[in-house]
Amino acid sequence: MRREWSIAKRLFFAHALFIVVLTVFVGTAFFVDARDRGYDETSDRMLAVATAIADSPLVLAASESADPSATLQPYALDLTQDAGLDFITIMAPDRTRWTHPTQTEIGKDYIGAIEPALSGTAFTEISTGTLGPSVRAVVPVTDAGGTVRALVAVGTTTSNITIALNARLPSVLGLALGLLASGSVVTWLLGRYLRRVTLGWGPERLAQLFVYYDSVLHSVREGLVLVDLHGDLVLYNDQAAQLLGIPPRPAAGSATPPPALAELSLPPSLGELLRSGRSAHDEIHVTGTRVLVVSQEPAVASASRSRATPMGFVATIRDHTDLQTLGSELQSMQTLSDALRAQTHEHSNRLHTIVSLMELGRTDQALDFATEDLELSQRLADEMVGSVDEPVISALIMGKSAQANELGITLTVTASGTLAESGLSIQDLVTVLGNLVDNALDAAAAGADPRRVSVTVSSTEQAVTIEVADSGAGVAPEVIDDVLRLGFSTKGTGVTGTGVTTPGRSVGGRGLGLALVRQAVTRLGGTLTIGRREGAVFTVVIPAVIRAYPAEVDHA
């Protein structure tokens, strides 16, 4: 299988190649510049020497003599040696040499251009003569009237210029090697950084993984939320958007950033969990319409999970609303079961009493006791069924009545109107009424005698009102805003409004009942208020659902 190059390795080699090309280019440019400057400097120097010789009175005087070479040859040779030149040629206007480093070349024609000098203009050129290629300057020698009497050519061979230029090569090579070394170090450091942040993966694999992960985010049935180290939302899937009630996530590659966590309408406990980045396992969080179970773990590289610094945090969100509804229904069934158990226990005691009376021969007393017990049980059932016309609610209240009887609490129920025509879901009514009565029984049981709980249910065409009052300690004013929050519990403390547990943690059932009541009431568009008389008073008002009935058809 072909091994794919990582982004870091590709960038390293690409950057190294760029540094090599840049070094060659810069070195070549520097060398060419140094060569051109060397030729320019040599040309200027040759022109300056030639001009100085042409201005010498000795040269003008010798040009008018019968044998110019006799005077000018020794002068030219000495000056050539002193100035470090290769040649000084003084010639007649017709190119005849009067001086030359080679004695045999005297009297012969000068090789090179002289036309600009004959017209009175000094110039420089690179030309090939008897000594080879050279940089030379040609300057006219004029008399007082401006007539050109002679020409002075001064030059040095290009081989000498090359030797001088080669002396600069170490500095050029040093600059190139320094550039190459520094660029290689920067490339290596950049490669290390990219190898770390990309986990050594290549771009093709990263693109493939992105497509896979994006598909997983779309298809997974649990909500997934990714948060960075600063507590900002990075990514979330469609299920998370639906569960949290936030806008759908932007499409892959979109320039639109995800919304900030502070901009989302999340429950305070859930927002705190996502921003904190702490680990969480199956924490319960209640939103306005849902019961969510949230787990959160740091996002680290799988190869070094034990010691790696997290890159962010991943939260999974599961919807337990339906499961919680089933749990409430199961709790109602448990209440009815407890009621039957209590009634069975009580019936067993009474049956033993009747049997004992009959064994003692007190038949009349046994018959009177059985008759009174039957009338009492029937009256209680008639009161419950007569006060609440909904069978499920009646069964719930009878179960709570038996439970209250075991706890030594007097439970009174008052009802008006008809729940059957309110249009509200029985499950919602069971959730609201059952949890409120459970909370009231706990508060009354922790209070002083006499222990009482009263339930008032009224139904009109506009709304259903449920009021549950207890004889407990009541709700402390400073915790009224918190008593409906998930995790706030008064159980086990003896005082309503105390015993706070950590919000959002796995609370084991404590602090969940009133939070579910608030959720159901909010979802149904109702209100929940907390007051105080003898103890706490919880009042729920839920708008009735208007049912559409089919119009009657007149067959007349």
Residue 192 lies in a domain: no
Cβ 488 vs Cβ 482: under 8 Å: yes
Listed residues 298, 319, 340: the one ending a domain: 319
Query: Residue 260: what pLDDT?
Result: 74
CATH number at residue 254: 3.30.450.20
The verdict on 374 and 494 lying in the same domain is: yes
The verdict on 301 and 342 lying in the same domain is: no
Residue 464 lies in a domain: yes
Residue 556 lies in a domain: no
Does the CA dihedral 384-385-390-395 come out positive or negative? positive
CATH number at residue 364: 3.30.565.10
Distance of alpha carbon 227 from the chain centroid: 6
Query: Residue 550: what pLDDT?
Result: 43
Listed residues 166, 194, 228: the one ending a domain: 166
Containing 321, the helix (H) or strand (E) segment is helix 321-359
The verdict on 446 and 512 lying in the same domain is: yes
Residue 27 lies in a domain: yes
Query: Residue 497: what pLDDT?
Result: 38
Query: Residue 255: what pLDDT?
Result: 56
The verdict on 349 and 268 lying in the same domain is: no
The verdict on 423 and 536 lying in the same domain is: yes
The verdict on 207 and 155 lying in the same domain is: no
The verdict on 402 and 495 lying in the same domain is: yes
pLDDT digits (tens, 9 = 90+) for 437-455: 888 888 888 888 888 999 8
Query: Residue 24: what pLDDT?
Result: 77
The verdict on 250 and 389 lying in the same domain is: no
Residue 272 lies in a domain: yes
The verdict on 438 and 461 lying in the same domain is: yes
Listed residues 166, 187, 215: the one ending a domain: 166
Query: Residue 499: what pLDDT?
Result: 33
Residue 147 lies in a domain: yes
Residue 548 lies in a domain: no
Residue 433 lies in a domain: yes
Query: Residue 551: what pLDDT?
Result: 41
> 3-state DSSP call for residue 418?
coil
The verdict on 356 and 478 lying in the same domain is: yes
* Sheet strands (E) in 300-370: 312-319
pLDDT < 50 positions in the chain: 1-2, 490, 492-510, 547-556
Domain of 71 in residue numbering reads as: 7-166
Q: Which residue has the tokens 């022109």?
A: 47
Q: How many domains would you assign to the chain?
A: 3
Half-sphere exposure of 187 (CA within 13 A, CB side): 19
Q: Which residue has the tokens 């290596």?
A: 188
The verdict on 429 and 483 lying in the same domain is: yes
The verdict on 233 and 251 lying in the same domain is: yes
